[in-house]
Amino acid sequence: MKSRYLAAIIGAIAAAAALALFFAPRSAGTAKVYLDGELVFSVDLDRVEGSRCFSVGEGNTVQAEKGRIRMLSADCPDKLCVDMGWSSSPAKPIVCLPNKVMILIDGRADADAVSG
């Protein structure tokens, strides 16, 4: 009987800890924007106020808001980078291959990220 109570208490504590971790505020991290492999600029996504736009090279525009970033526009033929939408996770980089632009987010990866 005591083992049942002990298992219930341990289960309740584990569930409470899991909920606390799930709902804990996370840092969005820093977005780093590269052009042809060179770091152009970085943005602390936790400190962005309002909406900020940045030109990258001659054909790309990046938009950052608190906690997220996206490729707002690009002059590449397929616009896949624009279609990727917003990113706030290290697991979702944004890449424009034709214009050699890459946006990577440093910070804590989401649960679906793979680390090695």
**Residue 83 pLDDT grade (very low, low, confident, very high; cuts 50, 70, 90):** very high
For the stretch 91-94, contacts whose Cβ atoms lie closer than 8 Å and that sit 24 or more positions apart, written own/partner, are: 94/69, 94/70
Residue 35: is its pLDDT beyond 60? yes
The pLDDT of residue 14: 72
Domain count, the chain: 1
pLDDT of residue 97: 93
The residue with greater pLDDT, 20 or 81, is 81
CA–centroid distance for 82 within its chain = 15
- How many residues are present in the chain? 116
pLDDT digits over 100-112, tens only? 999 999 865 444 4
Query: Helix, strand, or coil here: 69?
Result: strand
CATH of the domain at 77: 2.60.320.10
Average pLDDT over residues 53-70: 94
| Residue 40 resides in a domain | yes
90 within some domain: yes
Helix (H, G, I), strand (E, B) or coil at 44: strand
pLDDT for 19: 59
Give the range of the structural domain holding residue 60, as residue numbers without chain letter.
Answer: 30-106
The sign one gets for the Cα dihedral 52, 56, 58, 59 is negative
Binned at pLDDT 50, 70 and 90, residue 69 comes out as very high
52 part of a folded domain: yes
Phi, psi of 20 (to 5 degrees): -65, -40
In angstroms, rounded to a whole number, what is the distance separating the alpha carbons of residues 90 and 36? 20
Question: Residue 53: what pLDDT?
Answer: 94
